[in-house]
Amino acid sequence: MSGKKSINSAIAHQERTFTRFMLGQRWEHAILLLSSFVLLITGLPQKYRDMSWSQDLLSTPERLELIRQIHHIAAIVLAMEAIYHLGRAIYLMARRKMRADMFPNLQDIYDAWHMLQYLFFLRRDKPVYGRYNFEQKVTYWFLFFGFALMGISGFIIWFPVQFTQFLPGGVVPASKMAHSTEAVVAAIFIVIWHFYHVHIERLNLSIFTGRLSEDEMKKFHGREYERVTGQPAAKLDEEK
Protein backbone atom coordinates (compact mmCIF):
# COMPACT_ATOMS: atom_id res chain seq x y z
CA MET A 1 0.00 0.00 0.00
CA SER A 2 2.79 2.38 0.90
CA GLY A 3 4.51 1.56 -2.39
CA LYS A 4 1.37 2.50 -4.29
CA LYS A 5 1.14 5.81 -2.45
CA SER A 6 4.78 6.62 -3.24
CA ILE A 7 4.18 5.93 -6.95
CA ASN A 8 1.10 8.18 -6.98
CA SER A 9 2.96 10.95 -5.19
CA ALA A 10 5.82 10.66 -7.68
CA ILE A 11 3.38 10.97 -10.59
CA ALA A 12 1.73 13.98 -8.94
CA HIS A 13 5.14 15.58 -8.47
CA GLN A 14 6.03 15.06 -12.14
CA GLU A 15 2.78 16.67 -13.26
CA ARG A 16 3.36 19.88 -11.29
CA THR A 17 3.30 22.88 -13.63
CA PHE A 18 3.75 26.64 -13.39
CA THR A 19 1.88 29.41 -15.17
CA ARG A 20 4.04 30.95 -17.89
CA PHE A 21 1.59 32.91 -20.05
CA MET A 22 -1.98 33.97 -19.32
CA LEU A 23 -4.74 33.33 -21.84
CA GLY A 24 -4.70 36.95 -23.02
CA GLN A 25 -0.97 36.78 -23.69
CA ARG A 26 -1.40 33.61 -25.72
CA TRP A 27 -4.12 35.27 -27.80
CA GLU A 28 -1.80 38.23 -28.34
CA HIS A 29 0.90 35.88 -29.61
CA ALA A 30 -1.56 34.19 -31.98
CA ILE A 31 -2.71 37.53 -33.40
CA LEU A 32 0.91 38.68 -33.72
CA LEU A 33 1.89 35.46 -35.48
CA LEU A 34 -1.05 35.49 -37.89
CA SER A 35 -0.88 39.19 -38.79
CA SER A 36 2.92 39.06 -39.27
CA PHE A 37 2.58 36.03 -41.54
CA VAL A 38 -0.07 37.76 -43.66
CA LEU A 39 2.07 40.91 -43.87
CA LEU A 40 5.05 38.85 -44.98
CA ILE A 41 3.30 36.86 -47.72
CA THR A 42 1.57 39.97 -49.07
CA GLY A 43 4.61 42.25 -48.73
CA LEU A 44 7.28 40.11 -50.39
CA PRO A 45 5.55 40.05 -53.81
CA GLN A 46 5.41 43.85 -53.73
CA LYS A 47 9.09 44.12 -52.80
CA TYR A 48 10.34 41.72 -55.47
CA ARG A 49 8.24 42.94 -58.40
CA ASP A 50 10.96 41.97 -60.89
CA MET A 51 10.73 38.28 -60.01
CA SER A 52 8.66 36.04 -62.27
CA TRP A 53 6.59 34.59 -59.41
CA SER A 54 5.71 38.11 -58.26
CA GLN A 55 4.72 39.17 -61.76
CA ASP A 56 2.48 36.11 -62.09
CA LEU A 57 0.83 36.86 -58.75
CA LEU A 58 0.39 40.58 -59.43
CA SER A 59 -0.40 40.22 -63.12
CA THR A 60 -3.41 42.59 -63.04
CA PRO A 61 -4.15 45.89 -61.27
CA GLU A 62 -7.03 44.19 -59.48
CA ARG A 63 -4.74 41.55 -57.98
CA LEU A 64 -2.25 44.18 -56.89
CA GLU A 65 -5.00 46.22 -55.24
CA LEU A 66 -6.34 43.13 -53.45
CA ILE A 67 -2.90 42.23 -52.12
CA ARG A 68 -2.40 45.78 -50.90
CA GLN A 69 -5.79 45.82 -49.16
CA ILE A 70 -5.03 42.57 -47.35
CA HIS A 71 -1.62 43.96 -46.39
CA HIS A 72 -3.18 47.14 -45.01
CA ILE A 73 -5.79 45.23 -43.00
CA ALA A 74 -3.09 43.04 -41.45
CA ALA A 75 -1.04 46.16 -40.69
CA ILE A 76 -3.99 47.73 -38.85
CA VAL A 77 -4.52 44.53 -36.84
CA LEU A 78 -0.82 44.43 -35.89
CA ALA A 79 -0.81 48.13 -34.96
CA MET A 80 -3.87 47.68 -32.74
CA GLU A 81 -2.26 44.65 -31.12
CA ALA A 82 0.92 46.65 -30.43
CA ILE A 83 -1.06 49.54 -28.89
CA TYR A 84 -3.03 47.12 -26.72
CA HIS A 85 0.15 45.29 -25.66
CA LEU A 86 1.91 48.51 -24.65
CA GLY A 87 -1.15 49.97 -22.94
CA ARG A 88 -1.79 46.81 -20.95
CA ALA A 89 1.86 46.51 -19.89
CA ILE A 90 2.05 50.14 -18.77
CA TYR A 91 -1.22 49.83 -16.85
CA LEU A 92 -0.24 46.62 -15.08
CA MET A 93 3.23 47.87 -14.16
CA ALA A 94 1.77 51.16 -12.89
CA ARG A 95 -0.61 49.15 -10.68
CA ARG A 96 2.30 46.92 -9.61
CA LYS A 97 0.50 43.87 -10.98
CA MET A 98 3.28 42.94 -13.42
CA ARG A 99 7.01 42.74 -12.88
CA ALA A 100 9.38 44.44 -15.33
CA ASP A 101 11.11 41.13 -16.09
CA MET A 102 11.36 41.78 -19.83
CA PHE A 103 13.49 44.91 -19.45
CA PRO A 104 17.26 44.36 -19.94
CA ASN A 105 19.42 44.65 -16.85
CA LEU A 106 22.98 44.12 -15.71
CA GLN A 107 22.33 40.46 -14.97
CA ASP A 108 21.70 39.87 -18.67
CA ILE A 109 25.24 41.01 -19.45
CA TYR A 110 26.63 38.60 -16.85
CA ASP A 111 24.46 35.79 -18.23
CA ALA A 112 25.53 36.47 -21.83
CA TRP A 113 29.20 36.44 -20.79
CA HIS A 114 28.59 33.24 -18.79
CA MET A 115 26.96 31.59 -21.81
CA LEU A 116 29.80 32.70 -24.09
CA GLN A 117 32.29 31.07 -21.74
CA TYR A 118 30.19 27.91 -21.72
CA LEU A 119 30.08 27.79 -25.52
CA PHE A 120 33.88 28.08 -25.68
CA PHE A 121 34.28 25.31 -23.07
CA LEU A 122 35.64 27.72 -20.47
CA ARG A 123 32.85 26.84 -18.05
CA ARG A 124 31.03 23.59 -17.47
CA ASP A 125 27.72 25.05 -16.31
CA LYS A 126 25.13 27.16 -18.12
CA PRO A 127 23.84 30.36 -16.51
CA VAL A 128 20.74 30.17 -14.32
CA TYR A 129 17.99 32.43 -15.67
CA GLY A 130 15.04 34.29 -14.24
CA ARG A 131 11.62 34.53 -15.86
CA TYR A 132 13.17 35.60 -19.19
CA ASN A 133 16.73 34.97 -20.31
CA PHE A 134 18.85 37.41 -22.31
CA GLU A 135 18.13 35.55 -25.57
CA GLN A 136 14.39 35.98 -25.11
CA LYS A 137 14.88 39.65 -24.30
CA VAL A 138 16.95 40.12 -27.46
CA THR A 139 14.13 38.54 -29.47
CA TYR A 140 11.46 40.67 -27.83
CA TRP A 141 13.22 44.03 -28.15
CA PHE A 142 14.57 43.36 -31.64
CA LEU A 143 11.07 42.61 -32.86
CA PHE A 144 9.61 45.48 -30.82
CA PHE A 145 11.82 48.12 -32.46
CA GLY A 146 11.65 46.33 -35.82
CA PHE A 147 7.85 46.39 -35.83
CA ALA A 148 7.91 50.03 -34.72
CA LEU A 149 10.17 50.91 -37.65
CA MET A 150 8.03 48.95 -40.11
CA GLY A 151 4.86 50.50 -38.69
CA ILE A 152 6.05 54.10 -39.00
CA SER A 153 7.58 53.61 -42.44
CA GLY A 154 4.55 51.61 -43.59
CA PHE A 155 2.09 54.38 -42.75
CA ILE A 156 4.33 56.91 -44.52
CA ILE A 157 4.19 54.73 -47.64
CA TRP A 158 0.44 54.31 -47.26
CA PHE A 159 -0.23 58.06 -46.90
CA PRO A 160 2.66 59.77 -48.74
CA VAL A 161 0.74 62.95 -49.58
CA GLN A 162 -0.25 63.62 -45.99
CA PHE A 163 3.23 62.99 -44.59
CA THR A 164 5.09 65.00 -47.22
CA GLN A 165 3.05 68.06 -46.25
CA PHE A 166 5.35 68.44 -43.23
CA LEU A 167 8.23 66.08 -44.12
CA PRO A 168 10.69 66.26 -47.07
CA GLY A 169 9.78 64.23 -50.14
CA GLY A 170 12.80 61.97 -49.73
CA VAL A 171 11.17 60.39 -46.70
CA VAL A 172 8.92 58.27 -48.95
CA PRO A 173 11.62 56.32 -50.86
CA ALA A 174 13.63 56.07 -47.62
CA SER A 175 10.60 54.61 -45.89
CA LYS A 176 10.09 52.09 -48.70
CA MET A 177 13.69 50.91 -48.35
CA ALA A 178 13.54 50.77 -44.55
CA HIS A 179 10.15 49.05 -44.51
CA SER A 180 10.96 46.21 -46.90
CA THR A 181 14.52 45.67 -45.66
CA GLU A 182 13.47 45.47 -42.02
CA ALA A 183 10.67 43.04 -42.95
CA VAL A 184 13.16 40.66 -44.58
CA VAL A 185 15.60 40.99 -41.67
CA ALA A 186 12.82 40.32 -39.14
CA ALA A 187 11.65 37.25 -41.08
CA ILE A 188 15.19 35.84 -41.21
CA PHE A 189 15.68 36.61 -37.52
CA ILE A 190 12.47 34.83 -36.53
CA VAL A 191 13.19 31.75 -38.66
CA ILE A 192 16.85 31.36 -37.64
CA TRP A 193 17.06 32.77 -34.10
CA HIS A 194 13.60 32.52 -32.55
CA PHE A 195 12.53 29.29 -34.21
CA TYR A 196 15.80 27.59 -33.25
CA HIS A 197 15.65 28.59 -29.58
CA VAL A 198 11.95 27.77 -29.21
CA HIS A 199 11.41 24.68 -31.37
CA ILE A 200 14.80 23.12 -32.19
CA GLU A 201 16.98 23.65 -29.12
CA ARG A 202 14.00 22.48 -27.05
CA LEU A 203 10.32 22.07 -27.85
CA ASN A 204 8.86 24.95 -25.85
CA LEU A 205 5.07 25.01 -26.24
CA SER A 206 4.35 27.25 -23.25
CA ILE A 207 3.12 30.11 -25.48
CA PHE A 208 0.34 27.74 -26.60
CA THR A 209 -0.32 25.80 -23.39
CA GLY A 210 0.42 28.67 -21.00
CA ARG A 211 2.36 26.44 -18.60
CA LEU A 212 5.82 25.00 -17.94
CA SER A 213 6.59 21.78 -16.14
CA GLU A 214 8.57 21.83 -12.91
CA ASP A 215 11.58 20.28 -14.63
CA GLU A 216 11.52 22.97 -17.33
CA MET A 217 11.25 25.71 -14.73
CA LYS A 218 14.23 24.39 -12.80
CA LYS A 219 16.33 23.79 -15.92
CA PHE A 220 15.60 26.92 -17.94
CA HIS A 221 14.34 29.44 -15.36
CA GLY A 222 16.07 28.42 -12.14
CA ARG A 223 16.10 31.88 -10.53
CA GLU A 224 12.39 32.31 -11.24
CA TYR A 225 11.69 28.87 -9.80
CA GLU A 226 13.54 29.79 -6.61
CA ARG A 227 11.67 33.10 -6.38
CA VAL A 228 8.28 31.44 -6.80
CA THR A 229 8.82 28.37 -4.61
CA GLY A 230 11.52 29.56 -2.21
CA GLN A 231 13.38 26.31 -2.88
CA PRO A 232 16.79 25.98 -4.61
CA ALA A 233 16.38 24.31 -7.99
CA ALA A 234 19.79 22.58 -7.83
CA LYS A 235 19.06 21.10 -4.41
CA LEU A 236 15.78 19.60 -5.59
CA ASP A 237 17.55 18.04 -8.56
CA GLU A 238 19.98 16.36 -6.19
CA GLU A 239 17.14 15.04 -4.03
CA LYS A 240 15.44 13.47 -7.03
Query: Residue 7 has what pLDDT?
Result: 52
More confident residue, 39 or 49: 39
Averaged pLDDT score across all residues of the chain: 88
More confident residue, 206 or 4: 206
Using a 10 angstrom Cβ sphere, with 0-12 exposed, 13-18 middle and 19 or more buried, the burial of residue 9 is: exposed
Query: Residue 238 has what pLDDT?
Result: 44
Q: Are 214 and 18 in contact (CB under 8 A)?
A: yes
Query: Residue 203 has what pLDDT?
Result: 83
Lowest-pLDDT range of 6-20, 27-41, 199-213: 6-20
pLDDT for 92 beyond 60: yes
pLDDT for 89 beyond 70: yes
Domains of the chain as residue ranges with CATH: 18-239 (1.20.950.20)
Q: Which residues pair with 17 in a beta bridge?
A: 213
